[in-house]
C-alpha cells in the first residue's frame, strides 16, 4: 500500500508542478507533511537541505529521500519514478509541439506570459520554505549573509552550501 501511495503522491506532484523543482517543494510539503503526515516540518526541512546539497534536481532528490524514509530503497525508486514520469511525458509532448510551432507568435506570447508566473512560483516556494526554516535570529543572519554573498560575489553556490554546513555544525 505504501508503494502505491508513494507513486501516486509523487506522480500527482510531478503532474502539477510547472516551473521546476523549487516549485514542487511547497507541493511536496503540503502532501507529505500536512496531508499525509509522513514527515514533520523539521524532517522535511532537513530532507530539502540535503536534497539541495546533493547532485541532481532538488525535487527528484527530495522524492528519493522521502521514499527512502517511508519505505527504504524500493520506496526511493518508486517515489523517484512517480515524480519523473509525468514530467517526462509532458516534456515529450511539449518538445514536439514547440519544435513544430516554434515560430508561432501565439507560442511566443504564451511563453512570455508563463515566464513571470514561474518567477512567482519560485518566490512562493522560497517564502513557504523560508517561513518554516528561518526560525531564529541565527538562521536569518546566515540566510542573509549567504544571499548577500551569492548576489554580490561570484562565489560558487556549492561553496556557500559547504560553508553553511560547517557554520551549522559549529554554531547551531
Q: What is the pLDDT of residues 82-95, one digit of tens each?
A: 999 998 998 899 89
Nearest to 90 by CA among 2, 144, 11, 23: 11
Q: State the Cα–Cα distance between residues 127 and 54, nearest whole angstrom.
A: 22
Q: Are 60 and 83 in contact (CB under 8 A)?
A: yes
Average pLDDT, the chain: 90
- Nine cell digits for residue 13: 506532484
Q: What is the pLDDT of residues 18-36, one digit of tens each?
A: 767 787 888 899 999 999 9
Q: State the Cα–Cα distance between residues 43 and 50, nearest whole angstrom.
A: 11
Higher pLDDT among residues 4 and 127, named by residue:
4
Q: What is the pLDDT of residues 134-146, one digit of tens each?
A: 989 999 999 999 9
**Element housing 20 (H / E):** none
**pLDDT at residue 115, rounded to an integer:** 85
**pLDDT at residue 19, rounded to an integer:** 66
Amino acid at each position: 500500500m505504501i508503494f502505491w501511495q508513494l507513486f501516486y503522491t509523487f506522480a500527482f506532484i510531478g503532474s502539477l508542478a510547472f516551473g521546476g523543482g523549487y516549485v514542487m517543494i511547497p507541493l511536496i510539503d503540503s502532501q507529505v507533511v500536512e496531508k499525509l503526515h509522513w514527515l514533520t516540518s523539521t524532517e522535511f526541512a532537513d530532507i530539502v537541505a540535503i536534497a539541495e546539497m546533493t547532485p541532481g534536481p532538488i525535487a527528484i532528490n527530495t522524492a528519493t529521500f522521502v521514499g527512502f524514509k517511508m519505505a527504504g530503497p524500493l520506496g526511493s525508486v518508486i517515489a523517484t519514478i512517480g515524480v519523473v514520469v509525468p514530467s517526462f511525458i509532458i516534456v515529450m509532448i511539449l518538445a514536439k509541439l514547440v519544435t513544430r510551432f516554434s515560430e508561432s507568435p501565439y507560442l511566443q506570447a504564451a511563453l512570455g506570459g508563463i515566464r513571470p508566473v514561474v518567477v512567482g512560483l519560485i518566490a512562493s516556494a522560497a517564502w513557504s520554505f523560508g517561513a518554516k526554516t528561518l526560525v531564529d535570529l541565527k538562521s536569518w543572519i546566515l540566510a542573509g549573509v549567504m544571499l548577500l554573498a551569492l548576489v554580490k560575489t561570484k562565489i560558487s553556490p556549492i561553496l556557500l552550501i559547504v560553508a553553511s554546513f560547517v557554520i551549522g555544525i559549529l554554531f547551531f
